[in-house]
Amino acid sequence: MNRFRVPVVTGVLLAGLVAAAAEGPFAGPLGLPSRFSEAAAHMSMRVVPSHAQVPPGQTFHVALELTIADGWAYYAPQPGGTAEFSPLGASITAVGRDLKAGAALWPPSKPHQTNLGDKTVTTNVYSGRIVAYVPITVPGGIAAGARRLTFAAAGQICSEDGAKCLNLRLEDTTEVIVGAAPVPNSAWDSAISSGLADAKPAGALEGRTREFAPPGAPGPQLTVGGGLGLAILAGLILNIMPCVLPVIPLRIVSLAELARQSRRRLLGLGSAFAAGIMLFFVALAAVNAVLRLAATRAFDWGRHFQLPSFRIGMALLMVALAANLLGAFTVLVPRRLAGLEAQQRRGGYLGSLGMGLMMAILATPCSFAILVLALAWAQVQPLWLGSLAIVLMGAGMAAPHAMLAAAPGLLSRLPRPGRWMELLRQSMGFALLLVAVWLISTLSSDAHVARVIGYAVVLAFCLWAWGSWVGYDASLAAKVAVRGLAVALAVAAGMWLLRPARPVATAFEPFDEGRIASARAAGRTVLVDFTAAWCLSCKIVDLQVYDDPAVAAGLKARGVLAMRGDVTTADLPANRMLYEELKGAPPLTVIFPSAGATIRLEGKFSKARLFEALDTAAGASGSGPPR
């Protein structure tokens, strides 16, 4: 039922989950999923305009009569829900040449209870027959003649027992005449007109939608499985921190002494030690749950990124955590708590459990930045997902300890502790500084200034690597290798970052909803690329797809009108269509054929997939692909 993404931010540190993100696991295939057809078997739509002819300057209504099959429920625009159960709200879109559609008006919904096993959730639904209304205004001064209107109802329907849920999209068209005098439509009967007085905009209905991180949360996107895999990887990385790796052999030897040469007992003590590490992360997951429940809902990551103050705050947090990794300050464990560690070296399984717990706690001076980022990331995810990722992070840290207890001979193969661990930790600090620069860059349209600041961080890293990675007593070969790599990185980054930014190869027009309608009415296919300055995945789509001259030429050859819907801030025109009508978030490319259903390309996609979708749109319009 839920749709969510897990954000992954570029950088060595963040690639280990510290900002992992997932492609919505329940998002349908690109284009119109086959499940839409299945859903249409349980709900139908009939479009009825109030007038057959309307003069310029007047407003009329179009009724969407929705009939829902027995045993099924259609979720209202404000469906309500919880962190574990968040249905997709209903929506209506209208497209008509030269005509202006207002906000859809919905009838009152009714409460519906869904049994989730351990608790019951109340949501707002429709059942049976309902009628929604869309006010349509005919602008003054337009030419007389027929105007076609296309309506789409989208959302989610579920069986009343909650056992099966399907995403839904229904489309229908009608026609009105723009003429000298109003002519009522005989099909607009009393059963339809009686409901108009009680219909309200979606925002005035009862209930509220619980918001989760939207599909286009900033950053490259992974599946949920991939994001959770990165959580385990992040836990493994914690074992090579300067506070952890040097003491791993000592802990295993201590366990072996307690086992007194019994392999079975050593395995049991090792498992208890690993469980102690896990216990720390379970406690951290509990903290996450308390914070989430106190906030009553998950943050809407994409909407929050539209606020400059939020991006500034995130940038400053990255700077603070980078300072921690670079050694500017250290978060210390209280002396009294640290003194308990020695007491845990004695005893049996309980002592080993306590030793593992103390090791995880005493590692926090080195892992503070990673743990804070993981906890902050978990706050913008569904409760179960964020908590599970934190626990799996603990599993990643605990796994090597259990493995070494089972096979102590592997201790000889561990990398030797050394200065390289501190250098790795500080390198992660530079990666976080780059993330901070990127966040700051989204505050201005001058991309070149941000690229120069980013190069300044890269140059500082190269100079730091030149002076810190090798000492005066290092061999000539080591100096040449390390310093040559630093110079090569500085030169390559300069050639990439210092050159002035140029527009992508594809020529986009600014977003204009009226222009979309008029182009479709004229028989053209329209492509809208919804993007934002803070969306890293959008940059990847630009680089891999829209910056290709072949794509630009293909769009031109097909006569496609390409538009760019910028949603960097909440006051831009494209926001209403993206967030309210399409229920999406960047990166999202939507193809509007001149007739037929729209096609959605969510997240990253290939050039071949784009051309396939364009040819499908051309076929739906009846023109077919060009030869």
Q: Are both 326 and 194 inside the same structural domain?
A: no
Q: Are both 200 and 229 inside the same structural domain?
A: no
Q: Are both 192 and 269 inside the same structural domain?
A: no
**Cβ atoms of 270 and 382 closer than 8 Å:** no
Which residue blocks in 240-262 are alpha helix, DSSP H? 248-259
pLDDT in tens, 468-521: 777 777 788 888 888 899 899 889 888 887 777 677 889 999 898 888 888 888
Confidence of residue 303 (pLDDT cuts 50, 70, 90): low
Instruction: Decide if 455 is inside a domain.
Output: no
Contacts of 369 (CB under 8 A, 6+ apart): 13, 321, 322, 324, 325, 428, 429, 432
Instruction: Decide if 558 is inside a domain.
Output: yes
Instruction: Decide if 176 is inside a domain.
Output: yes
CATH number at residue 167: 2.60.40.1250
Mean pLDDT of 100-128: 82
CATH number at residue 543: 3.40.30.10
Looking at the DSSP bridge assignments, the partners of residue 168 are 155
Q: Are both 250 and 305 inside the same structural domain?
A: yes
Q: Are both 184 and 237 inside the same structural domain?
A: no
**Cβ atoms of 549 and 507 closer than 8 Å:** no
Which percentage of the chain shows pLDDT scores above 90?
A: 16
Q: Which is more confidently placed, 555 or 439?
A: 555
Q: Are both 395 and 514 inside the same structural domain?
A: no
pLDDT of residue 390: 85
**Cβ atoms of 133 and 199 closer than 8 Å:** yes
**Cβ atoms of 11 and 432 closer than 8 Å:** yes
Instruction: Decide if 555 is inside a domain.
Output: yes
Q: Are both 184 and 235 inside the same structural domain?
A: no
Could you give the 3-state DSSP secondary structure of residue 280?
helix
Six-digit token pair at 608?
Answer: 């071949």
Q: Are both 254 and 121 inside the same structural domain?
A: no
Residue 222: half-sphere exposure toward Cβ, Cα within 13 Å = 19
φ, ψ for residue 89 (rounded to 5)?
A: -75, 155
pLDDT of residue 459: 84
Examine the pLDDT at 589 and tell me if it is beyond 90. Answer: yes
User: Number of helices and strands (H, E) in the chain?
Assistant: 19, 19
State how beta strands 91-96 and 145-159 pair: antiparallel
Q: Where are the beta strands (DSSP E) in 539-594?
A: 561-566, 588-592
Instruction: Decide if 431 is inside a domain.
Output: no
pLDDT of residue 582: 85
**Cβ atoms of 174 and 89 closer than 8 Å:** no
pLDDT of residue 369: 63
Final residue belonging to a domain, choices 169, 204, 239: 204
Instruction: Decide if 9 is inside a domain.
Output: no
Cα-Cα end-to-end distance for the chain? 42
Mean pLDDT of 291-300: 54
**Cβ atoms of 55 and 180 closer than 8 Å:** yes
Q: Where are the beta strands (DSSP E) in 127-192?
A: 129-137, 145-159, 165-178, 183-184
Q: What is the pTM of this model?
A: 0.41
Contacts of 204 (CB under 8 A, 6+ apart): none
User: Nearest to residue 226, comparing CAs of 401, 475, 22?
Assistant: 22
pLDDT of residue 431: 76
Q: Are both 189 and 236 inside the same structural domain?
A: no
Q: Are both 379 and 519 inside the same structural domain?
A: no
pLDDT in tens, 254-292: 656 555 556 677 777 778 888 888 898 898 888 878 876
Instruction: Decide if 103 is inside a domain.
Output: yes
Q: Are both 257 and 166 inside the same structural domain?
A: no
Q: Are both 200 and 241 inside the same structural domain?
A: no
Final residue belonging to a domain, choices 395, 417, 439: 417
What distance in Å separates the CA atoms of residue 126 and residue 147, rounded to the nearest whole number?
31
State how beta strands 526-531 and 200-201 pair: unpaired
Helices 364-378/419-441 angle, 10° precision: 30
Instruction: Decide if 435 is inside a domain.
Output: no
What distance in Å separates the CA atoms of residue 462 and residue 469, rounded to the nearest whole number?
10
Residue 302's domain spans which residues? 224-417
Examine the pLDDT at 354 and tell me if it is beyond 80. Answer: no
Which of 87-91, 306-310, 538-542 comes out lowest in average pLDDT?
A: 306-310
The total number of structural domains that make up the chain? 3
pLDDT of residue 28: 32
